[in-house]
Amino acid sequence: MVAGNRMSKTKSKPPILTLSPEHEQQAIDKLKRLFAERFELELGTFEVAEVLELFTREIAPHYYNRAIFDVQQQLKERFESIESDLWALEKN
């Protein structure tokens, strides 16, 4: 009962990203191979899809947020460079 409650709470959190059906199937196939080759676990598509869903819901937001931060830093540096170029063009 407790595990069911936990799962329902976890599943209510919307995923930060979604994959196309083709990419989702590729990810499932790769995860199935990983579990089989590295851990000698033969998991079915349903079980691996649950793992992928967990990663998408719980781990992907951290990568997403890091990517946003990295882009913000790059844009900040670029805008500072543009601002510097504009100051150089200013006439006295």
**Alpha carbons 88 and 64: distance in angstroms, whole number:** 36
Which ranges in 1-92 belong to alpha helices (H)?
Answer: 2-11, 21-39, 45-54, 60-89
Q: The tokens 């994959």 sit on which residue?
A: 19
Percent of the chain with pLDDT over 90: 71
| pTM for the whole structure | 0.67
Judged against a pLDDT cut of 70, whether residue 2 lies above it is answered with no
Mean pLDDT is lowest, of 3-12, 52-61, 66-75, for 3-12
C-alpha span between 25 and 45 (Å, rounded): 9
